[in-house]
Structure 1
């Protein structure tokens, strides 16, 4: 009666986090394997052939972004979700360019991971809700602070991460830019009626 569970590879150098997330995703209907570095991830991807992957941006000294094309080459249909402790539009854009399907900031819960992995697919994993409806575009414009954050990230990417050059292009003092970058981006939640 139940179809074959979707296969998920979790790649994170934090073995405890990987184990906890693996248990949580297993309870949500996934068949899960973990890897703690890029070498293990390549081997598991070749052997396990997962349809999904949760990939940490930082893998010790390695960068998870570099691993995305290799994982996609091993399993072209794999949907990759990149996780990072440092949210930035620039990193998200780069992850998507390299083949990731989505991007989430840590800390993250298993429900958010499952939603991100399965979004846009008719999935065999039951979420308990009918997801056939296409979400509407937000009616309210993005908050000004969010737009500013995204613009800063775009210019920072164009400057290859050079803070001084980014500050010059934005016409702001370097320390002001650093303060803005240190703040978390504004969440894109619809505003409640006050």
Structure 2
């Protein structure tokens, strides 16, 4: 698939990553409009592709994904996150994302996520550590509580502060 001339909306709060991705993707022929924060939908006049960070500052990229798909139903969206979990990826796909990729990302990974026709192929099963499973379950419960930490802590049988401590910990690699 030819990507030259594709209009890409990029929402990423990390300035260095946003600038590098913008430059690299423009060098490959894409027309990139980037934002440091989730923009107002009135700022967007058209969108073919959108690369959205799951967490933009204190905002949730999933809500912006939902709003963007309502205004531009044909936009192809790829979500990315450094804190990706199965629950987040599933929720993004339910809201209309084409793909979900984990940071760190490269321009080639991004282009492949947009152009790959084999999205949804079966992923080979890997062993997952207990810490990783715990974090994914916490993310799932937090997602089902619409991001409300107090409500999620009640569902998990934890104090709110305990849940916040768990969320601040690094995500296990495996």
When normalised by structure 2's length, the TM-score is: 0.72
Alignment length (residue pairs): 160
Summarize the alignment of residues 1-194 of structure 1 with structure 2, pairs less than 5 Å apart: 5-40=5-40, 42-45=41-44, 47=45, 49-120=46-117, 137=122, 142-145=125-128, 149=132, 153-154=136-137, 157-158=140-141, 160=145, 162=152, 166=156, 182-186=170-174
Contact 2:15 2:36 in 1 (8 A): yes
Provide the rounded CA distance (Å) in 2 between the counterparts of 1:148 and 1:136: 26
Contact 1:156 1:163 in 2 (8 A): no
Provide the rounded CA distance (Å) in 2 between the counterparts of 1:63 and 1:134: 24
**Unaligned stretches of 5+ residues in structure 1:** 121-132, 169-173, 187-194
Provide the rounded CA distance (Å) in 1 between the counterparts of 2:25 and 2:80: 15
Root mean square deviation of aligned Cα? 3.4
Contact 2:7 2:32 in 1 (8 A): yes
Q: CA offset at residue 107 of structure 1? A: 1.5
**Unaligned stretches of 5+ residues in structure 2:** none
When normalised by structure 1's length, the TM-score is: 0.65
Compared with structure 1, are the counterparts of its residues 150 and 77 closer, same or farther at alpha carbon in structure 2 (3 Å cutoff)? farther
Contact 2:87 2:136 in 1 (8 A): yes
